């Protein structure tokens, strides 16, 4: 397995993996931004190709197995303190996520950790978490943070095994096509 910094040419894979991580949340969010004749994937790909912002190829790492893209990690430091204007301008569906992120100022935030289905169970998720830890340590972050859906049992198990513990919760705002309910859960831990 190889983990490398993403390049702008990884934008299509990043958009797909972001949508997988959010179980369709990204597609729904991007569909609200799409103009006539644009697909949500086009919007996601364009966002991944940006040089700035939280979701950008510059904040991503790619895991490769057998010379194929297997998964991705997108992360960045949460400012300390979190600027209040960042929260006020967020659409209602994403507001619980931004409010939870604001509960972990100074942490290195794992915004996305996703693995394509055919590569699951091969250690890719664990390797990406280890890479996140390395980046968090190098950034001298207070700790690591991520947000997961409370009903995503597989992801919650992975993160608990990696030492993450729930610290805050917010009710999830549902969106069309989402099959889970529950809460968004902020999980944190010290850098390993």
Task: Choose between 91 and 47: higher pLDDT.
Answer: 47
pLDDT at residue number 24: 87
Quick one: what percent of the chain has pLDDT higher than 90? 72
Annotate the chain with DSSP letters as a single string: -EEEE--GGGHHHHHHHHHHHTTTHHHHHHHHH--TT--HHHHHHHHHT-SSSSSSGGGEEEEEETTEEEEEEEEEEPPSSPPHHHHHTS-TTTHHHHHHHTTSTTSEEEEEEEE-GGGTTSSHHHHHHHHHHHHHHHTT-S-EEEEEETT-HHHHHHHHHTT-EEEEEEE----TT----SEEEEEEE---
Alpha-carbon gap, residue 170 to 188, rounded angstroms: 15
Give 2-189's CATH code, choosing from 3.40.630.30, 3.90.1170.10, 3.20.190.10, 1.20.120.640: 3.40.630.30
Instruction: Give per-residue pLDDT as tens, 127-166.
Output: 999 999 999 999 999 999 999 999 888 889 989 999 999 9
Any idea where the domains of the chain sit in the sequence? 2-189
34: exposed, middle or buried (Cβ count in 10 Å: 0-12, 13-18, 19+) = middle
pLDDT at residue number 88: 67
pLDDT at residue number 20: 93
Alpha-carbon gap, residue 128 to 46, rounded angstroms: 24
Q: pTM, whole model, 2 decimals?
A: 0.91
pLDDT at residue number 179: 76
Q: Reply yes or no on whether the pLDDT at 58 is more than 90.
A: yes
Instruction: Give per-residue pLDDT as tens, 72-123.
Output: 999 999 988 777 666 667 778 888 988 899 999 999 999 999 999 999 999 9
């Amino acid at each position: 397995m190889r983990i490398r910094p993403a390049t702008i040419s990884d934008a299509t894979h990043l958009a797909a993996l972001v949508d997988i991580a959010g179980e369709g949340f990204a597609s729904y969010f991007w569909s609200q931004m799409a103009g006539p004749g644009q697909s949500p994937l086009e919007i996601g790909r364009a966002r991944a190709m940006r040089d700035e912002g939280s979701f950008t190829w510059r904040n991503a790492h790619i895991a490769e197995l057998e010379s194929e893209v297997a998964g991705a990690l997108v992360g960045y430091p949460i400012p300390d303190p979190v600027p209040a204007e960042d929260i006020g301008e967020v659409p209602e569906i994403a507001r619980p996520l931004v409010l939870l992120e604001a509960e972990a100022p100074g942490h290195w935030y794992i915004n996305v950790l996703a693995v394509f289905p055919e590569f699951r169970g091969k250690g890719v998720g664990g390797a990406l978490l280890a890479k996140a830890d390395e980046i968090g340590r190098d950034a001298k972050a207070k700790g690591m943070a991520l947000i997961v859906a409370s009903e995503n049992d597989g992801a919650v198990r992975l993160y608990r095994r990696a030492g993450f513990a729930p610290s805050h919760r917010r009710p999830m705002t549902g969106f069309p096509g989402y099959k889970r309910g529950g809460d968004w859960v902020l999980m944190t831990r010290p850098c390993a």
